[in-house]
Chain A
Amino acid sequence: MYNLKTKTFGIKVEWRMKYYIYIYFLVCLWTSSTLAQLDSIQKLEEVIVVDRQISRFSTGQRIQNISSSTLQNTPGLLTDVLGQETTIFFKQNGYGMVSSPTFRGTTAQQTAVVWNGFNINSQFNGQTDFNTLLVDGFDELSVRPGGGSIIYGTGAIGGSIHLNNQLKFDGKTSVVLSARAGSFSTFQNLLKASTSTGRWSLSLALSRFSSKNDYDWPTANRKNLNGDFEHYNANLSLSTKLGDGHRLTYHGMYFNGDRNFSLLFPSDPRSNYLNEDHRHMLEWEKEFSNLTSVLKMAYFGEDFQYTANINNPSPTGASAQTAIARYSLFYTYNDFDFNVLSEYNYGTADGDNVQADSRTIASFALLAKHQWKQLTSEVSFRQEYSNVYDSPFLFSTGFNYVFSDYIEAKAKVSKNFRIPTFNDLYWEGSGQTDLQPETSNQLESSLIFSNAKKNHRFSMTGYYNDINNLIRWIPNVNNIWEPENVDEVQTYGLEAQLESTFKFGEHLFQLNSLYAYTISENKQTGFQLTYVPMHKLTNGLTYTWNRLSVELQNQYIGEIFTRSNNSEGDILEDYLLWSSGLSYKFPKIQNLKLSFQVRNVTDAAYQTVENRPMPGRHFFIQTLINF
């Protein structure tokens, strides 16, 4: 089926390579000049992450960390990384198109995306399109299943995804350059550089991802039409120690996406979507002996422009700005850990379909953790006040108990929420200002088994989540779709993870398997929510021997209902995808890593949204250099 056009492909790669050699050259010049200044630095092992709560106040929850090398090695966008590495399922309108997550059976607005400690879900629709995030430039990606509204606010119901930048004061300079080319004229490039002294730290990442995305549709005798995209992302982080325990840190990111939406039928109008996001935060930290005071100011700008027909353009768009001031105080007293959080959030939006309006939210939270022998317990509360809606009082309590070196147990109970978005409130002719926030009461518990050397670990988590006042847009008498607090949903399920490392001499095997069983049921009808698979299984096996590394991954998604009454004729079939990769490091050439990757090895025909075929077998080659 798949026809690799070797000739054109080869030429393009060659052309690209020339381009990269040129960039490599430029960067080399730049690094050598930086290195020259680094003579008098003493080495310090210190990593600054501004999202302090995730590591300190996640009692009762399991955090899954995804390394920056995984982010760099996985072709594509955030959807691709999380699809393989977590239990989250993504529905995509074809590859690279709008991608909505379902985390523990919840809706797309009930997964919070958190950038350096701040929730960045869209002010307009309350969700993140996971195909508008290029993540290879980030240093750390953490996934925190379960409620997190106390710290991360609205939408942290199914779970939260944390994108973090790290800053080091170790006096080292490093540069990573990566270039990838693949099927469907796909190109992905990354430049990531960081440098520091004992007082200053700077980190920068630029990434680009583009594709013609014209893969063959296995069901119809044609290619994916109008699916091309081109994305750019820039991250900049800077931190300085001012002495006397003071530190200033800045993180900024910029995303620019230009995407066409693929056609269902060749005669559909060809549409385009441009979006631009700016995010900036500045933090002033002061450390006392057992007290840390952190003041943060953040500004987010989000803009989009949608053109329904590029042959007859009359674009519509909107923009939103958010300004946030947050003050946190961390206090440690004997076995207690406290955090007081207060935040002021001012958001404004204006657009062609959204009435210009603003929203003010003030919130206060108190988190307390106590360590007593093998038991860690945590209680926390949050109350929000808004000029637009009534916010519920939120609480959570969590426990970790270490039975022995082999067994650990966790449990958590929490109340979380999602607030109405600007579209829900102010959409012209439809917005309803009397909407209530969605609320979720949930509980979960986990058992974690590991061996003494901690190279084998197995964990199981069960959860129950009761969600009320779910906002859904439904048509009124005049065919005007309006949001209403109509639905009640309960989700429950099981998650299991096995991580194993085996070493036989120089041969290293690493295994990571995840399974999720998910029930997400509309309480009024008893039916499973649409686009929530009951089963998801992923496996990843990596074999490393010296400079050679071989990777084999698979992903199984069970059948998916596309109709709210779960009708049998409208089910997307289950599918199993395989992908594999081979890479080799050349230590003599600046640790150049050359990789070859194949995705959808068996050329399986599959869809994650009805009538939206996904790509068949496709290939990538990647070169990655570490300076």
Chain B
Amino acid sequence: MNTYFKFLVIAISALVIISCSSDDDNPQPVIPDGDYFNGVLILNEGGSAGGSVSFLGADQQEVVNDIFADANDGEGPGLFLQSIFFDDEKAYIISNGSNIISVVNRYTFELLGTVDSGLSVPRYGTVLNGKAYVTNLAEFNTDQDDYVAIVDLETLEIEETVIVGGAAEYIVSSSGEIYIQNASFGNGNTISKLNPMSNTITETLEVGEGLNSMRAYNQKLYTLDSEGVKQIDLATFTVETEINKPEALSSVSNLRIENDQLYYTSGTSAFTTSISSSELSSEAIFDYGSDSVFGSFYGFEVNEGQIYVGDAGGFTSNGSLFIYSSEGQFVKEFSVGLAPNSFYFQ
């Protein structure tokens, strides 16, 4: 949702409330109720004591930590929070350590229900036609048992599971089909297509080695691997354009797309390249100089011309959120929860 649109909704609702007289018997405001209506949700993976969710309001003044526990009598959403997916006003928080998905109202964070059986190290989810498709890593020593759990969002029960035949990591729906990144932890080089009618894997497409991220944008799929970015046409499910990684860039990861610009990271630097370029830019927008080896760019997102960086530090103390402009100007820094790994805007 667009922020201006939200402001408009608030303004109109406010007018409605003001103009309604108090003798009216049902003066129900139409604004979504909740403290977390406008801003960014920060998912903190957490350590052995469980993860948490933080919130930064759209005014970027203050981070509120532990919003899930605050709204739900101190209970947390689980161990090792992996990601959140959304369906209208509902947010689905995936905990891969506790094999649970907590369903909350995304604006109040009040718990509405859980998916707590049939999951095995769940990773990512996406929603299509009232169903959620959730990737599961299952056993760590093999990727042959990785599966997609198909969850009925009315009953929160798993209807069916589909073995992917390779790693099941990031998952996205576009133009009525489901796409699964068959690569995790830098290993793997294929994308699978799942047909939601038959619930079968219909096609698998090979991209480059070291596939590490994938995004859907304007009815296309973009993947990032050790060779660079590939643009995939969804109708033919083939690679139609490649944007190569120059020698000057070492390993790249965290592909994000906004306003026809590709964003990605390498080391402690962030980069951007136009979606129509033929080569990835090796000129950093900024280098934020983290001394965390693995915890740098633990979270990375681009929203409305601003770059959000999650840094996990040494994983023994709370992580940081750094906000930069898309030109690389430092904007703000906040302390968030333990190991911030993703950002969701509302």
Q: Which of B50, B95, B116, B335 contacts A611 (CB 8 A)?
A: B50
Nearest chain B CB to A49's CB is how many angstroms away?
40
Residue pair A477, B97 in contact (C-beta under 8 Å): no
Closest to B138 in A: A312
A476 to B315, CA, bound (A): 12
Q: Which of A268, A530, A569, A610 contacts B65 (CB 8 A)?
A: A569
Whether A428 is near chain B, meaning CB under 8 Å from some CB there, is: no
> Which residues of chain B are near A312, meaning CB under 8 Å?
139
> Which residues of chain A are near B125, meaning CB under 8 Å?
none
Known: A220-B74, A265-B78. Contact between A565 and B317, CB under 8 A? yes
Residue pair A479, B294 in contact (C-beta under 8 Å): yes
Known: A219-B74, A610-B49. Contact between A268 and B79, CB under 8 A? yes
A314 to B139, CA, bound (A): 9
Whether B75 is near chain A, meaning CB under 8 Å from some CB there, is: yes
Whether B4 is near chain A, meaning CB under 8 Å from some CB there, is: no
Q: Which of B78, B99, B293, B316 contacts A477 (CB 8 A)?
A: B293
- Interface of chain B: mostly helix, strand, loop or mixed: loop
Residue pair A476, B99 in contact (C-beta under 8 Å): no
A609 to B75, CA, bound (A): 16
Q: Which of B74, B76, B116, B338 contacts A267 (CB 8 A)?
A: B116
Nearest chain A CB to B158's CB is how many angstroms away?
13
Residue pair A570, B79 in contact (C-beta under 8 Å): no
Residue pair B98, A264 in contact (C-beta under 8 Å): yes
Closest to A220 in B: B75
Q: Which of A264, A267, A530, A612 contacts B316 (CB 8 A)?
A: A530
Residue pair B49, A264 in contact (C-beta under 8 Å): yes
Most interface-central of A267, A474, A476, A565 (chain B CB within 10 A): A267
Whether B100 is near chain A, meaning CB under 8 Å from some CB there, is: yes
Closest to A529 in B: B316
Nearest chain B CB to A42's CB is how many angstroms away?
60
> Which residues of chain B are near A219, meaning CB under 8 Å?
74
Chain A 597-627 against B: per-residue CB contact (8 Å), 1 yes, 0 no? Answer: 0000000000001111000000000000000
Closest to A530 in B: B316
Please provide the chain A residues from 228 to 272 with a CB less than 8 Å away from any CB of chain B in the complex: 264-269
Q: Which of B74, B75, B335 contacts A567 (CB 8 A)?
A: B335
A219 to B73, CA, bound (A): 9
Whether B228 is near chain A, meaning CB under 8 Å from some CB there, is: no
Residue pair A565, B318 in contact (C-beta under 8 Å): yes
Residue pair B49, A268 in contact (C-beta under 8 Å): no
A567 to B66, CA, bound (A): 14
Residue pair A477, B314 in contact (C-beta under 8 Å): no
Residue pair B316, A479 in contact (C-beta under 8 Å): no
Residue pair B186, A611 in contact (C-beta under 8 Å): no
> Which residues of chain A are near B79, meaning CB under 8 Å?
264-265, 268
Closest to A562 in B: B49
> Which residues of chain A are near B114, meaning CB under 8 Å?
267
Residue pair B100, A267 in contact (C-beta under 8 Å): yes
> Which residues of chain A are near B340, meaning CB under 8 Å?
none
Residue pair B49, A611 in contact (C-beta under 8 Å): yes
Most interface-central of B185, B293, B295, B335 (chain A CB within 10 A): B293
Q: How many of chain B's residues touch chain A, expressed as a range?
A: 20 to 34
Chain B 285-318 against A: per-residue CB contact (8 Å), 1 yes, 0 no? Answer: 0000000011100000000000000000011111
A118 to B297, CA, bound (A): 47
Chain A 545-583 against B: per-residue CB contact (8 Å), 1 yes, 0 no? Answer: 000000000000000001111010110000000000000
> Which residues of chain A are near B141, meaning CB under 8 Å?
314
Residue pair A478, B186 in contact (C-beta under 8 Å): yes
A612 to B141, CA, bound (A): 29
Closest to B79 in A: A264
Residue pair A475, B100 in contact (C-beta under 8 Å): no
Chain B 53-82 against A: per-residue CB contact (8 Å), 1 yes, 0 no? Answer: 000000000000110000001111011000
> Which residues of chain B are near A474, meaning CB under 8 Å?
293-294, 314-315
Chain A interface residue count, Cβ-Cβ cutoff 8 angstroms: 29
A269 to B66, CA, bound (A): 24
> Which residues of chain B are near A267, meaning CB under 8 Å?
78, 98-100, 114, 116-117
Closest to B295 in A: A475
Nearest chain A CB to B7's CB is how many angstroms away?
31
A474 to B293, CA, bound (A): 9
Closest to A477 in B: B293
Residue pair B99, A268 in contact (C-beta under 8 Å): yes
Known: A265-B78, A269-B99, A611-B49. Contact between A475 and B316, CB under 8 A? no
Residue pair B139, A268 in contact (C-beta under 8 Å): no
> Which residues of chain A are near B76, meaning CB under 8 Å?
265, 611
Known: A477-B293, A609-B49. Contact between A265 and B186, CB under 8 A? no
A609 to B314, CA, bound (A): 19
Nearest chain A CB to B342's CB is how many angstroms away?
16
A312 to B141, CA, bound (A): 14
Nearest chain A CB to B269's CB is how many angstroms away?
14
> Which residues of chain A are near B65, meaning CB under 8 Å?
569
Residue pair B50, A476 in contact (C-beta under 8 Å): no
Nearest chain A CB to B276's CB is how many angstroms away?
31
> Which residues of chain A are near B78, meaning CB under 8 Å?
264-265, 267-268
Residue pair B100, A265 in contact (C-beta under 8 Å): yes
Q: Which of A265, A475, A569, A612 contacts B315 (CB 8 A)?
A: A475
Nearest chain B CB to A614's CB is how many angstroms away?
14
Chain A 461-488 against B: per-residue CB contact (8 Å), 1 yes, 0 no? Answer: 0000000000000111111000000000
A300 to B315, CA, bound (A): 35
Most interface-central of A265, A562, A611 (chain B CB within 10 A): A265
Residue pair A268, B293 in contact (C-beta under 8 Å): no
Residue pair B186, A564 in contact (C-beta under 8 Å): no
Nearest chain B CB to A572's CB is how many angstroms away?
10
A469 to B314, CA, bound (A): 17
Residue pair A475, B98 in contact (C-beta under 8 Å): no
> Which residues of chain A are near B49, meaning CB under 8 Å?
264, 562, 609-612
A623 to B186, CA, bound (A): 61
> Which residues of chain A are near B294, meaning CB under 8 Å?
474-479
A219 to B75, CA, bound (A): 8
> Which residues of chain B are near A475, meaning CB under 8 Å?
293-295, 315
Please provide the chain B residues from 129 to 154 with a CB less than 8 Å away from any CB of chain A in the complex: 139, 141
Nearest chain B CB to A138's CB is how many angstroms away?
32
A475 to B295, CA, bound (A): 8
> Which residues of chain A are near B74, meaning CB under 8 Å?
219-220
Residue pair A264, B318 in contact (C-beta under 8 Å): no
A530 to B338, CA, bound (A): 14
> Which residues of chain B are near A562, meaning CB under 8 Å?
49
> Which residues of chain B are near A479, meaning CB under 8 Å?
185, 294
Closest to B312 in A: A475
Closest to A486 in B: B314
Residue pair A567, B98 in contact (C-beta under 8 Å): no
Closest to A481 in B: B294
A475 to B313, CA, bound (A): 10
Residue pair B317, A265 in contact (C-beta under 8 Å): no
Chain B 160-180 against A: per-residue CB contact (8 Å), 1 yes, 0 no? Answer: 000000000000000000000
> Which residues of chain A are near B186, meaning CB under 8 Å?
478
A residues contacting B by CB (< 8 A) are 93, 219-220, 264-269, 312, 314, 474-479, 530, 562-565, 567, 569-570, 609-612
5 inter-chain pairs at a CB distance below 8 angstroms, sorted by A residue, are A220-B75, A477-B293, A530-B316, A563-B317, A569-B318
User: Top 8 closest A-B pairs, CB basis?
Assistant: A475-B294, A610-B49, A565-B317, A564-B316, A563-B317, A265-B98, A267-B100, A611-B49
* 19 more CB-based (< 8 A) A-B contacts, given A267-B99, A474-B294, A563-B318: A220-B74, A220-B75, A267-B100, A267-B116, A268-B78, A268-B98, A312-B139, A474-B293, A474-B314, A475-B315, A476-B294, A478-B186, A563-B316, A564-B314, A565-B317, A565-B318, A567-B335, A569-B318, A612-B49
